Amino acid sequence: MALIDTLSAARDDVLQQASDSLERTHLPHYEASGTEESRRRLNDLFDLVLVCLTKRDLDPITHYAHRVAEERFGAGFGIAEVQTAFNVLEEAIWRAVIARLPAQELLESAGLIGTVLGAGKDALARTWVASATSTHVPSLDLTALFEGLAN
């Protein structure tokens, strides 16, 4: 498949662009873990995108996103931090695909890429919300806003 071959050939460019973009966001937990660890995580996600595209199977990315959401939630990451990692990789993938594939292949490629990464982001968000609603999260405790209204 041209899309998979194109992404495989563009791997280094995609990962470098995504890593650079992630660094520019100055996300606290990603900065604390360092550039190499962040790049490794982006590489793992990129590999999963390729697996899903090759197999036409969304299970690998949804399982990964579920696990990552649980791990990062437990480590105190904000959902925006993890969603940003998915988003910078997706943006870098789009740049590579648009620059390297003929126009007639972009429509199908758009559907495939959007489906895979969308499924991952959806699983991430659903797992995150489930974790947040079953655990007391101070940022969701709005009682302090309403204390003066009872008087």
The predicted pLDDT at position 148 comes to: 53
Structure tokens given for 6 = 């194109």
Give the global pTM.
0.81
How far is residue 55's CA from residue 73's CA, in Å, rounded to a whole number?
29
The predicted pLDDT at position 118 comes to: 93
The predicted pLDDT at position 137 comes to: 47
The predicted pLDDT at position 20 comes to: 92
The predicted pLDDT at position 109 comes to: 92
Give, rounded to a whole angstrom, the gap between the first and last alpha carbons of the chain. 67
- Please say whether the beta carbons of 86 and 45 come within 8 A: yes
- The pLDDT profile of the chain, 151 residues, written as one tens digit per residue, is 699 999 999 999 999 999 998 888 877 766 767 678 888 999 999 999 999 999 999 999 999 999 999 998 988 888 888 898 899 999 999 999 999 999 999 989 999 999 999 999 999 999 998 888 885 544 444 455 555 555 4
Single-letter amino acid code for the residue at 142: L
- List C-alpha distances in Å: 25 to 20, 22, 42, 55, 105: 9, 5, 15, 32, 31
The predicted pLDDT at position 17 comes to: 96
Catalogue all structural domains in the chain, each as residue range(s) with its CATH number. 2-133 (1.10.490.70)
The predicted pLDDT at position 140 comes to: 47
